Structure 1
Amino acid sequence: MSNEKSFSMKTLLILAGSYVSFGIGAGFATGSEVLQFWAPHGLPGAVGIIISALLILLCIAVVSRDCRKYKLASMDMMYRHYCGKYLGLAINWFNTLTFFLMVGSMIAGGASSMNQAFGLDTRIGTVIMLIAVMATALLGMKKLTAILGNIAPIILLAVVVICVYSYINPTDSFSTGDMLIREKSGLSMSGSLIFSAVLNFTYVVLNMSAYSANVSTRADHQKELVWGNVLGQFSAALCQIFVFLAFVLNASVVGGTDIPLLILGQRLGGAFYAFYGIIVVLATYTTATGMAWVASSNIQREDSKWYKLVVAVVCIGAFVFSNFGTFGVLMNIVMKAVSYLGVVFSVCVIVSKIYRYVKESKEGVKA
């Protein structure tokens, strides 16, 4: 009698929800990611989101399957599997650097959100963010991240409310918004729609593939893991389109801004604006703390005597980086760094799959 558990739709839905929750952080809550990737392209940006989502769905399905098949239970194991010992190690450490830079951009984002929503001086805001992030990361983030991650459903619900209101009370028509959002796009990832789609794909797939490796043991069946991640990415793409169309319909208000969703939230009244301001600050805080923990624990394990010193160095260094520019500028730098690193990783996945297919085919012929 087999001890294998039966396929569980409940597990699939839980994994899909976890995927979405992991992907929804400060970049989504502020709206900066959506704006910088797609605003320069106007309404066709929605097509770019679909192209990117299809590429991500394909890659995530492949990586999820391989993580389960080859027992790749960590980010480091996954990078080594696809990229080889030395390139995999290099990508792992460069990715650690991007986590560090992300901490800095989130500190800047939290300070900017506090300034925009509550009028707090950004210099004071960065110090508050530094203290909060360092204090939390020093405690160890494994348990606390799971608790703080519950903010994702609140972010989603609040964003839906903002977008629905923005659809009902737009400042611009689709045709006018299409023109304005292109003109006021400000910082962007690329002037080419196709290249933006590719960069968005590589930006997402690098970290979501690492997530797939970390949760590969949570499913009893390969189908649960693969389809859970596919459903999660499909839902994330729909959310992006939903938000982007709200931006187009309100381009005269949000075009070229750092935190467009917070600006749209202001139109719902002072109470909601304050509420969403708190949500955005919490989102940047939880994202920064999680990234600080990942960067620090990749250098020194949490149970190491050097861990706390590493956390302090990472957080203080990130604080220094946060003063190099506005939240939008720093996010643009980090997103480009992650995207181009993701290009290298994606090429490695393709080459690795071709190599293993050819090798297994030859072995099959010999057998």
Structure 2
Amino acid sequence: MDEKKNTQFSVKTMLILAGSYVSFGIGAGFATGAELLQFWAAHGIAAILGLIISAALILLCIAVVSRDCRKYKLVNMEMMYKHYCGKYIGTGIQWFNTLTFFLMVGSMIAGGASSLHQAFSIPVSVGTLIMLAAVLGTSLLGMKKLTDILGNIAPIIILSVLVICIYSYMHGTDGFAAGNELIKAKSGLTMSSSLIFSAILNFTYVVLNMSAYSANVSTRADHQKELVFGNVLGQTITVLSQVFIFIAFILNASIVAGADIPLLMLAQRLGNVFYAFYGIIVVLATYTTATGMAWVAASNIQPESSKWYKVVVAVICIGAFIFSNFGSFGVLMNFVMKFVSYLGIVFSVCVIVSKIYRAVKESKEKA
């Protein structure tokens, strides 16, 4: 029987997929506010236009990839990369993406240490050792279930950020016009001085891993519409949250401009108890992000069932710890985000070329 006769469009499934999309995309970069500041601070209020352009490109690409994942039964990252990029380029992108996970582990260790220092006055050198021990210990135990549980802090992050933003709106330190000029003047590390290119880099930064996510969840929906609408709703919630946060940054530019962890800076104004609470949330977010990425990087080299898995995990975590000492959290994040963004450009070009090639080939076969 036809799929449409067997199943009906499920709003519940759509909402679950939207929630999964948001939870997957919200991690340490969102909780710290570092990604948002580095991508968009240099452009001031025009960043909202850039965010909309980026979101539209992300949704278009995710819709195409989601459809293809169901049509061609691409159920994991490796299959998806090889489908669009071919055997050799696809394998290359897969391994370069594994490298980005490794580098992200290092930047998250630095981010956790910076958060511990800022919120609890723990020396950065001690903080990096604490983060290393936590990430390495969890990964060695086979962390997937624990990370899935701790990954559910995404709703807590969103609610906490909402509280921070509302307070920051009500008690802004700068007028909108003055804050807009100040955040541009003191933007610090940035991805690009061009608004359009920043939007493209933001798109390629997000879409590389969100496409892999789409491959993994493509079979969870009974209808293509559930998957597409779920992704649209999830991305809409994400971009609205980013706009909400960025306006708070403009209204408090004298506090956050050039900061490594801007949302933690704003949380400090809500009192010591909330500041400590959000400091713990940020540390947990960086920890779960680092642990998850350490697991992905290690399992891509050796499966968790392999006798070499623990050795690989140890090498990755210790190597990431060494990398975490190469710069501050902001510097390392800037480097890793650019690395991921440019790798995402390669993947995006492959998707476009692949779609054109297959469309031409199918039209010739029908002729």
TM-score strictly above 0.5: yes
**What's the CA shift for 1:142?**
2.8
Matched residues in 2 for 1:318 and 1:249: separation?
36
**Alignment partner, residue 317 of structure 1:** 319
CA-to-partner distance for each residue in 1:129-168, whole Å, 9 max, x for gaps? 0010011111223322221111000000000000011111
3-state SS in 2 of match to 1:7: coil
Residue 53 of structure 1: aligned partner? 55
Q: 2:121 aligns with which of 119, 122, 144?
A: 119
Letter of the 2:343 counterpart: L
Q: Match of 1:118, as an amino acid?
A: F
Aligned to 1:106: 108
Partner of 2:292: 290
For 2:176 and 2:2, locate their aligned partners in 1 and report how far apart those are by CA, in whole Å.
Answer: 58
Q: Deviations over 1:235-275 (max 9, x none)?
A: 11111111111101100110000000000000011100000
RMSD: 0.9
Equivalent residue for 1:239?
Answer: 241
Structure 1 Cα separation of the partners of residues 237 and 297 of structure 2 = 28
Q: Corresponding residue for 1:188?
A: 190
Equivalent position of 2:137 in the other structure: 135
User: In the alignment, what sits opposite 1:352?
Assistant: 354
| Other structure's SS at 1:44 match | helix
CA distance in 1, matches of 2:176, 2:64: 37
2:21 pairs, out of 15, 19, 22, with: 19
| Cα displacement (A) at 1:2 | 6.2
Q: Which residue of the partner structure matches residue 158 of structure 2?
A: 156
Using the TM superposition, give the Cα deviation of residue 230 of structure 1 relative to its aligned residue in structure 2, in angstroms.
1.8
Structure 2 counterpart of 1:79, from 77, 81, 85: 81
Pick aligned residue for 2:262 from 260, 263, 272: 260
CA contact (8 A) 1:60 1:230 kept: no
Is residue 2:148 matched to residue 1:146? yes
Q: Aligned partners of 1:49, 1:13: CA distance in 2, in Å?
A: 23
Residue in structure 2 matched with residue 62 of structure 1 by the alignment: 64
Structure 2 residue identity aligned to 1:82: Y
- The CA distance in 2 between the partners of 1:62 and 1:242, in whole Å, is 28
Name structure 2 gaps, 5 residues minimum: none
The one-letter amino acid of 2:292's match is G
- Once the two structures are TM-superposed, the CA of residue 5 in structure 1 deviates from its matched residue by 2.8
Q: Secondary structure at the match of 1:170?
A: coil
Q: Which runs of 5+ in 1 are unaligned?
A: none
Rounded Cα–Cα distance in structure 2 between residues aligned with 1:201 and 1:279: 26
Q: Does 1:305 align with 2:307?
A: yes
Structure 2 SS opposite 1:213: helix
- Contact 1:110/1:280 (8 A) holds in 2: yes
Distance (whole Å) between structure 1 residues aligned to residue 291 and residue 333 of structure 2? 16
1:281 aligns with 2:283: yes
Cα distance between partner residues in 2 of 1:154 and 1:117: 18
Letter in 1 for 2:163: V
User: What is the CA distance between 1:6 and its match in structure 2?
Assistant: 2.1
State the Cα distance separating 1:59 from its structure 2 match: 0.6
1:208 aligns with 2:214: no
Distance, in Å, in 2 between the alignment partners of 1:227 and 1:358 is 28
Give the superposition deviation at 1:332. 0.2
CA distance in 2, matches of 1:66, 1:143: 29
Amino acid at match of 2:299: S
Equivalent-residue separation in structure 1 for 2:32 and 2:348 (angstroms): 27
Q: Give the length in aligned residue pairs.
A: 365
Percentage of identical aligned residues: 76
Secondary structure in structure 1 of the residue aligned to 2:191: coil
Inter-partner Cα distance in structure 2 for 1:5 and 1:43? 45
Q: Give the whole-Å Cα distance in 2 for the aligned partners of 1:60 and 1:2.
A: 25
Moved more, 61-70 or 287-296: 61-70
Q: Distance in 1 between matches of 2:2 and 2:268?
A: 57
Which string of whole-angstrom CA distances, capped at 9 and with x for unpartnered residues, describes residues 166-220 of structure 1?
A: 1111001110011100111000000000100000000000010011111112112
Measured in 1, the distance between the counterparts of 2:301 and 2:100 equals 13
Aligned equivalents of 2:48 and 2:59: distance in 1? Answer: 16
Contact 1:141 1:293 in 2 (8 A): yes
Mapped contact 1:57–1:234 kept (Cα < 8 A): no
Whole-Å separation in 1 of the counterparts to 2:57 and 2:248: 24
Q: Which moved more, 1:66-75 or 1:27-36?
A: 66-75
